[in-house]
Structure 1
C-alpha cells in the first residue's frame, strides 16, 4: 500500500524524504526509479544518481569554482533520488557536502534515498558522527520509510547458483 501511495507523489508536495532500505537485489533502486517515473509523468523534474556520482559531481563543481551554482541546481530539483547510500563510507569533506545538500533540501524538496544498510546503521557512513546525526535527523523527520526483505532478484534461477549464460540471437531476415 505504501508503494502505491508513494507512486501518487504526494510526498513531493509535502517535501519529505522517502527512505528505502534492504539487502542487495530486493528492488530498492527499481522501486525508487518507478516512483521517479511516476513523478516525471506528473510533470516533476527528477534527478537519479548514486551517492558516489553525486559526491563526484559536487567535488568537480568545487574544483572548477562552480560549487554554489551546482548546489543551487541540486536544491531546486523537486525530487532527487540518491541510490546506494552508505555503499561506500563517506570521506571527510564528503560528509559535509552531503549534510549541506540534505540541510538545504530539508522541508524544501523531496529526496528518495536507497541503502543496503539498515536504518540503524546509516550513521556509520559518516566519519563525523555529530554531522551524521544532524543529517540523519533531517532525513528521518516526517520521512516515509520502506524496508524490503527477501532474496536477491539477481540470484540465478533454477538451482545451485551456477549461472548459465544464454545468448539470444535475432532471427535472420530474408534478403
Structure 2
C-alpha cells in the first residue's frame, strides 16, 4: 500500500508484476466505484466485482480525493474484503492513512476495512514535492525570447 505516492511508482510496480506474468489491473478510485454503482443498476454487480477482486495485483489510485457517497463505502469494503489475504492491492492516496476511516461512513465498517488493509501491509509514505508540480525554485523561467 502506498500513500502520498506518485502515480509513476504505482504504475511501475504494476508493469513489473504484469511482465512477471501476474494479472494486473490499474483503476482510479472514482472509476472503480462508478463501475460498481452502474453494475448495481444493471444487475451485473457480482460479475463487475469479480473484475476488481480477481487480478493478482489491483492498483487503486487516488483514494480520498473526493468523499464516498451512497453505496460506495460498502463497495470499497467489498473489494478490500474479497482481496484480503488472497491478492495484492496497492492503494495510492494524497491523504494520511489516519484520514481514511471517515470515508467508510460507518466506524465498524471502517475498522474492519482498515484492519484488512493494514494487516501484512507495507506502508510507504513518500514525502516531498510532487514530480508533476515542482517547487517554484526548480521551475525553469522562460527566456525573454520565449516570453514574446
Runs of 4+ in 1 over 2 A off after TM superposition: 154-164
Structure (1/2) with the larger helix percentage = 2
Shift of 1:154: 2.3
- 3-state secondary structure, aligned to 2:98: helix
Q: Which one of 44, 47, 66 corresponds to residue 66 of structure 1?
A: 44
- Which residue is 2:18 aligned to? 40
- 3-state secondary structure, aligned to 1:102: helix
Shift of 1:156: 5.0
- Which residue is 1:13 aligned to? none
Distance 1:160 1:71, change over 3 A: closer
- Which residue is 2:103 aligned to? 125
- 3-state secondary structure, aligned to 1:144: coil
Asked whether the equivalents of residues 64 and 100 of structure 2 are also in contact (C-alpha less than 8 Å), the reply is yes
- Which residue is 1:109 aligned to? 87
- 3-state secondary structure, aligned to 1:84: strand
Task: Say if 2:37 is the partner of 1:20.
Answer: no
RMSD: 2.0
Shift of 1:85: 0.6
Q: TM-score, normalised by structure 2?
A: 0.87
Q: Which one of 63, 68, 86 corresponds to residue 85 of structure 1?
A: 63
Q: Deviation per CA, 1:32-87, whole angstroms, max 9, x where unpaired?
A: 10000000110111110110000011111111111111112322111110000111
- The separation in 2 between residues aligned to 1:156 and 1:38, in whole angstroms, is 27
